[in-house]
Amino acid sequence: MKISFAKISVPAQGTVVFGVTDNGKLGPAAAKLDKRANGSISRAMKSATFAGKKEQTLEVLAPGGTKLDKVILVGLGDLESLNEAAAERIGAVVYKAVAKESAATVVLDVLRASANDGGLAAHIAGGVRLRSYRFDKYRTKESKSDKPKLKTLVVQCDAQASAKASFTSVSAVADGVFFTRDLISEPANVIYPASFAARAKALAKDGVKVEILGEAAMRKLGMGALLGVGDGSARESQLLIMRWDGAKNKKAPPIAIVGKGVCFDTGGISLKPPGGMWDMKWDMGGAGVVAGLMCALAKRKAKVNVVGLCGLVENMPDGAAQRPGDVVTSMSGQTIEVQNTDAEGRLVLADVLWYAQERFKPKTMIDLATLTGAVIAALSNHYAGLFANDDDLAAQLTAAGQIAEERLWRFPMGEEYDKELRSLIADMKNIGGPRAGSITAAQFLQRFVKNTRWAHLDIAGVVWNEKGTALSDPGSTGFGVKLLNRFIADNCEG
Ligand code: BES
Ligand code: MN
Ligand code: ZN
């Protein structure tokens, strides 16, 4: 879809969408059109009790006195409370209203050039784009009339120049979200460790330095925890390293973002039950977010040094698979008794977190992982779990989550929980007791964090949404890309 920005000039034909605020009054361009249409638009508003409330819509077909096919009114609510996330949700509503047209014009004649509402216009356009994502490459029998058609969208407003400028970065972030959604939507016979890494290589064209380590290199580094998870798989495990050095000082310590990339999680020898096991294709969601974030940062040329690291493995049962009770030695030197091969994400992260710190000495490290079912029991799909060893970092991430509407809820950590990881024969075991599973998982990760400012996001509940969200169809959400982009833009750039 092509999205462009222009000055206000209502077209004579086609489909036009007008933003309307909740004072119930049309903007100047819409009012002029209403006059030409002998008041048919304002009459329709009255008879439908359309009040311009946020996300409310009204469709007026072929208004008399004009050659237009459709006039659609979309409520923006109260302009004072309109923020970027609300603007994106309004954009999603616009998309739904015009998806079956080939072209549409959105007239935002109620936005104020004086208040520099260009950013809001850009986010409305961004919402249209985000909502337009579809993963339909494997549908061969869908009829043409069922497919969306929108190819061209023109957004008109007084602050068109600032809207256009803001949209460059809004759109870069949407590219990142799409990169993530694609990786997550693909089945595990298509996205496995090597093919995931190969896709990430495409980011080199935007200036991301991509490096891939195979099993031999990881063995040399002593990554016994990560490698053990892949023992039962016919696919080679990979460590994917992506660097974006956009800061003035290219040598300044980076932010490290680490992702769990279990391309399929059968549970291994501690096999999962078959019902719902197909969902475990998106157990690489954390890695998917890391790759999409790198894409977004590079495309908007963020002024920051970030290194993204993804531990990519497949957890399969096999004659070569690790067994419950096996002891593995991690890169840190700490030994782990693998009591449950289904608690594999933490084993992967243990080595990648250690490697990230040893090699890059990051000033902040954030990992994302579909780590535990327990976080879904606690928060459902409305919040991701947040764990951190630093209150400021936790607060910054929480605030970014509020703005991006990808919300985080912080859990406690502490000695009491860490004790549950004691093993009789090794430095630790990979599972705690039956309770507080998300916290004991985070405690396990913390054993591989040195003096680094660190946060862990358990995104098991939010990567995939069966019902769809305001900005996505049922399926992958891309949750995390906008959140981390916002965190970086607000706290780490400049
Ligand atoms: N990938 C799963 C967690 C998960 C479950 C993500 C459901 C998304 C939806 C993880 O590897 C896992 O299996 N965790 C176990 C840990 C347990 C064995 C300690 C879990 O949560 O049951
Ligand atoms: Mn598992
Ligand atoms: Zn898993």
* In a shared domain, residues 262 and 326: yes
Contact at 8 Å (CB) between 474 and 466?
yes
Residue 494: per-residue pLDDT: 80
- Among 229, 372, 456, which residue has the most ligand 1 atoms within 8 Å of its CB, making it the best to mutate? 372
Residue 89: per-residue pLDDT: 98
Decide whether any atom of ligand 1 lies within 6 Å of the 344 Cβ.
Answer: yes
Residue 131: per-residue pLDDT: 98
Pick the last residue of a domain from 102, 130, 158: 158
Domain containing residue 228: CATH number: 3.40.630.10
Distance (Å) from CA 173 to ligand 2 centroid:
30
Contact at 8 Å (CB) between 266 and 316?
yes
Decide whether any atom of ligand 1 lies within 6 Å of the 283 Cβ.
Answer: yes
pLDDT band at 310 (very low <50, low <70, confident <90, very high): very high
* In a shared domain, residues 204 and 140: no
Could you say which ligand is closest to the alpha carbon of residue 458?
Answer: 1
* In a shared domain, residues 179 and 145: no
Q: What are the distances in angstroms from CA 493 to CA 170, 357, 481?
A: 16, 21, 16
Distance (Å) from CA 296 to ligand 1 centroid:
28
Residues 427, 334: Cα–Cα separation, whole Å? 6
pLDDT band at 327 (very low <50, low <70, confident <90, very high): very high
Contacts 24+ apart (CB under 8 A), 463-471: 463/184, 463/282, 463/285, 463/288, 463/289, 463/370, 464/184, 464/279, 464/282, 464/285, 465/381, 470/88, 470/89, 470/92, 470/131, 471/88, 471/89, 471/92, 471/127, 471/130, 471/131
Residues 391, 189: Cα–Cα separation, whole Å? 41
Decide whether any atom of ligand 1 lies within 6 Å of the 370 Cβ.
Answer: yes
Decide whether any atom of ligand 1 lies within 6 Å of the 230 Cβ.
Answer: no
Could you list the residue range(s) of the whole structural domain that residue 311 is in? 174-491
Q: Is 89 a known active-site residue?
A: no
Q: Is 407 a known active-site residue?
A: no
Q: What atom of ligand 1 comes closest to residue 315's alpha carbon?
A: 11
Per-residue model confidence as pLDDT tens digits over 175-199: 999 999 999 999 999 999 999 999 9
pLDDT band at 116 (very low <50, low <70, confident <90, very high): confident
Distance (Å) from CA 387 to ligand 1 centroid:
17
Decide whether any atom of ligand 1 lies within 6 Å of the 460 Cβ.
Answer: yes
* Token couple for 262: 């279990």
Per-residue model confidence as pLDDT tens digits over 413-464: 999 999 999 999 999 999 999 999 999 999 999 999 999 999 999 999 999 9
Residue 259 belongs to some domain of the structure: yes
Contact at 8 Å (CB) between 55 and 82?
no
Per-residue model confidence as pLDDT tens digits over 389-401: 999 999 999 999 9
* In a shared domain, residues 125 and 209: no
Pick the last residue of a domain from 158, 187, 219: 158
* In a shared domain, residues 115 and 15: yes
For residue 196, which of 138, 225, 238 has the smallest C-alpha distance? 238
Per-residue model confidence as pLDDT tens digits over 83-108: 999 999 999 999 999 999 999 999 99
pLDDT band at 163 (very low <50, low <70, confident <90, very high): very high
Neighbours of 229 (CB within 10 A): 29
Residue 483: per-residue pLDDT: 98
pLDDT band at 212 (very low <50, low <70, confident <90, very high): very high
Residue 24: per-residue pLDDT: 86
Which residue minimizes the CA distance to atom 5 of ligand 1?
373
Residue 168: per-residue pLDDT: 98
Residue 113: per-residue pLDDT: 85
Residues 22, 45: Cα–Cα separation, whole Å? 12
Residue 475: per-residue pLDDT: 98
Task: For residue 336, give the 3-state DSSP assignment.
Answer: strand
Q: Burial-class residue 425 by CB neighbours within 10 Å (0-12, 13-18, 19+).
A: exposed
Residue 115: per-residue pLDDT: 84
* In a shared domain, residues 29 and 178: no
Number of domains the chain is built from: 2
Q: Is the pLDDT of residue 114 over 90?
A: no
Pick the last residue of a domain from 125, 158, 191: 158
Contact at 8 Å (CB) between 192 and 33?
no
- Among 226, 283, 380, 456, which residue has the most ligand 1 atoms within 8 Å of its CB, making it the best to mutate? 283
* In a shared domain, residues 108 and 227: no
Residues 494, 348: Cα–Cα separation, whole Å? 33
Global pTM value: 0.98
Q: Which residues are placed with Cβ below 5 angstroms of ligand 2, an ion?
A: 265, 342, 344
Candidate list 96, 272, 303, 453, residue with the active-site label: 272
Strand partners of residue 453: 364
Angle at 282 between CA 362 and CA 180, to 5 degrees: 60
Distance (Å) from CA 403 to ligand 2 centroid:
31
For residue 222, which of 326, 342, 358 has the smallest C-alpha distance? 358
Q: How many separate helices (H) and strands (E) can be counted in the chain?
A: 15, 19
* In a shared domain, residues 144 and 195: no
* In a shared domain, residues 153 and 209: no
Contact at 8 Å (CB) between 245 and 299?
no
Per-residue model confidence as pLDDT tens digits over 406-420: 999 999 999 999 999
Residues 146, 161: Cα–Cα separation, whole Å? 35
Q: Is the pLDDT of residue 157 over 90?
A: yes
> How confident is the prediction for the chain on average, in pLDDT?
98
* In a shared domain, residues 37 and 144: yes
- Among 266, 342, 376, 465, which residue has the most ligand 1 atoms within 8 Å of its CB, making it the best to mutate? 342
* In a shared domain, residues 468 and 444: yes
* Token couple for 211: 């490096």
CB within 8 A of 23, min separation 6: which ones? 52
* In a shared domain, residues 132 and 274: no
Domain containing residue 103: CATH number: 3.40.220.10
Candidate list 346, 429, 482, 486, residue with the active-site label: 346
Per-residue model confidence as pLDDT tens digits over 329-370: 999 999 999 999 999 999 999 999 999 999 999 999 999 999
Distance (Å) from CA 279 to ligand 3 centroid:
10
